[in-house]
Structure 1
């Protein structure tokens, strides 16, 4: 009989790719969006799963029990919100409530949480960050993701169940959200191609800022492998990255190579987001323990996004 997995945030950028990968791997997948609407034939969550600021402490455990013994994947999260209240609600209060519900239900076999590279904080240029690196988030977003993960890990430990954190670096690829440098670049190049423009102009104050860019399909595959790891260690963490630091300038160079459309940067500090100036993941742990390999290059991700007609997916589901 297929194992059951419940994916919260299953309609989001990462969540829907995770659901597709787990389904293809033979899991019985139950997808849940932030309004309690489900897939998998188990019925919607009966109660205010999410309505304004209401995260039901009653309906959620009842729903988990109805699904039967299952692994739980948390792909819910607010990404780079300018509203601290939204960050706290989605990245801190929700994981806390989910952890409590898993404990109360008595039916949760394991918990897997999608974390963020921003939990590591500022990293030294040239030095890849590994899972054993200390967590020192410097942004409100990073701190909220760190707090949320801690609630779910503690809940799993109290249940004596495996807990896994897949710490995603800068996730790119088809179906992307609306925030970040990747969404900016895709939007600009799509618009330029549609308008027949001869140049893209981007507001990039610090073009040498470098991030580890990883395709969402590779992240989903890592989640799939991690979910099937069995009991193993009580707590496991895996970096989901490409193992390459790509500057914003290099990213736009890659878009130019794929489209033939050159770019020009303007350097207005308006709406500048503060974060590490350089990040690169050490992905050797996922490679050696899970046999995970990255399948999609930066060029693959660009081609997939520029070929899509579908609108960008929201990350807040």
Structure 2
């Protein structure tokens, strides 16, 4: 198998860590951002890599051929609360174009796609989600992720190449984006630490809501292991901690780390529908790839609070 890997979305929250993990694992790693700018000496993607809804599969296929045989990692993706048109562009149109380019290039060794826990249906409290669980998303975001992944799966089947789906749960850690409860908590506490505040007030409609929180560096570690062992025609792995953590407990952990107490305001503003409890079964990744979580919630909070406030948080 080729030791070249091309990471699309290499400047994003997850993509940055994935690129670093693959490089540390000995891969010749070519990182491409959403504007077609590439690292690793490959030259930029020629043609309109990103221009509105124009994702050129022809330009992408030429770029892939120039890079030679390679593993393709798709870490491009819009966050679930982004504008619907952006969600469609990044989660549906882009993987469709990438799938076309992989087929046209003839140089794709395997495909690895970063998916989402939102692809599963709502979960019942106390029942961890396994990779065998039904894909029945209830949100438009989840549906977009399922649809986008399907293009890459079908392309891999036609090429007779393996495809691996990494379904990430609630990703936390350093370099977080701007969306979601983790970004809100980290942003509030970093601002409070810098200002010397004696209390944080957070709008949390349902603090008892539980999510499976996983450090971005652990997600990257799973991607690196999966890239080395692509496995069967289609493989899927949950990237998660295997632990359900309530939103209230998350803020408590920030308070313990900083010594700044938090008052939770149960305002209905920002209330979201969906499952109130979520946790993943991570035994498949452990059994098949030897993967295990390395970073605790305390580790993630420490890394996020230590991060320079000027670090870009934009997705790639």
Q: TM-score when scaled to structure 2? A: 0.97
Match of 1:130 in 2: 130
Equivalences, count:
316
Structure 1 unaligned residues grouped into runs of 5+: none
Name the CA distance, whole Å, in 1 between partners of 2:32 and 2:41: 11
Q: Deviations over 1:171-229 (max 9, x none)?
A: 00001100000000011111111111111100110000100000000000000000100
Shift of 1:91: 0.2
Match of 2:17 in 1: 17
Name the CA distance, whole Å, in 2 between partners of 1:134 and 1:311: 41
Pairing 1:220–2:220 present:
yes
Shift of 1:309: 1.0
Pairing 1:287–2:270 present:
no
Match of 2:94 in 1: 94
Match of 2:160 in 1: 160
Match of 1:116 in 2: 116
Q: Deviations over 1:256-314 (max 9, x none)?
A: 11111111111222233333211101000000100001110000000111111143544
Match of 1:77 in 2: 77
Name the CA distance, whole Å, in 2 between partners of 1:205 and 1:121: 22
Name the CA distance, whole Å, in 1 between partners of 2:312 and 2:274: 24
8 Å Cα contact 1:215/1:296 also seen in 2: yes
Match of 2:240 in 1: 241
SS in 1 for 2:57: coil
Match of 2:65 in 1: 65
Q: Deviations over 1:25-47 (max 9, x none)?
A: 11000000000000010100111
8 Å Cα contact 1:77/1:315 also seen in 2: no
Name the CA distance, whole Å, in 2 between partners of 1:158 and 1:44: 27
8 Å Cα contact 2:123/2:275 also seen in 1: yes
Shift of 1:315: 4.8
Structure 2 unaligned residues grouped into runs of 5+: none
Match of 1:107 in 2: 107
Q: CA 1:313–1:123 in 2, change beyond 3 Å: closer, same or farther?
A: farther
Q: CA 1:208–1:167 in 2, change beyond 3 Å: closer, same or farther?
A: same
8 Å Cα contact 1:167/1:239 also seen in 2: yes
8 Å Cα contact 1:78/1:315 also seen in 2: no
Name the CA distance, whole Å, in 1 between partners of 2:82 and 2:32: 25
Cα RMSD after superposing both structures:
1.2
